Amino acid sequence: MHAVGLPSDVAAIRKEIKLFFESLDDEGKRIGSRKWGVYAFYDYDGEPIYVGQTFEGLSSRIGRHLTNQRTDAVAMNVLDPFEVAEICVWPLALGHLSEEQQREQLDRAEYTVFQKVLKESKLGAVLNEKPPRMMHSVDLPKSYCKRIIPEDVFPYRKHPDTRIARRASTIASLARVISERKVSRGLRQTLLTQARRLERLADERLKDFPNDEPDTADD
């Protein structure tokens, strides 16, 4: 009899995401219920990879990114949900503002988080096709972060060979999209950033093997 439902590792990760969104912030509100906010995704090495904002709810927006309910970033092969190991969110209380003011505050908060993660990045780059427009920074509210990969799943997901294969596949898919349509310079920049991420991971993996190790590839 064939198994029905999600693979166990995917189900476990979705459970962690759900628990994160159901946890309470300092105001006693569920993090996932906050309507406005900025979020950042980090990979298995703690490298920031994507920044976004939402005015439709943190759990709704982030859930669409990570649970295969297609978003532009995923559909265009800009973001591979497999690579997301940690989520950070900055919930914003903007209900007292006009819609125009809400948009302004969201944009400023996103710009501030974007600059923050660029400083954290070893490559000085993330995968966003369209970086936030330059604005005045704001004082960010408290952030809430969680690693969404369970302990028993983390070693497999983090294994560099698995990630190299995924990253190479993502690059190939993104390059195919670029070759088939007129795209922005930003998407080409994303392709370059993905290639640099792949090169860095492959270089680090190569260091795990001595120079004099014989070739053990299958015939």
Domain boundaries, the chain: 8-150
pLDDT of 219 above 60: no
Q: Which residue has the higher pLDDT, 31 or 72?
A: 31
**Measured between alpha carbons, how far is residue 205 from residues 172, 209, 214 in Å?**
20, 8, 16
**pTM score, whole prediction:** 0.92
Count other C-beta atoms under 10 Å from residue 54's C-beta.
Answer: 21
pLDDT tens-place string over residues 117-135:
999 999 999 999 999 999 9
Query: What are the start-end ranges of the H helices in 82-129?
Result: 99-120
CATH number of 8-150: 3.40.1440.10
Q: What mean pLDDT is predicted for residues 2-13?
A: 82
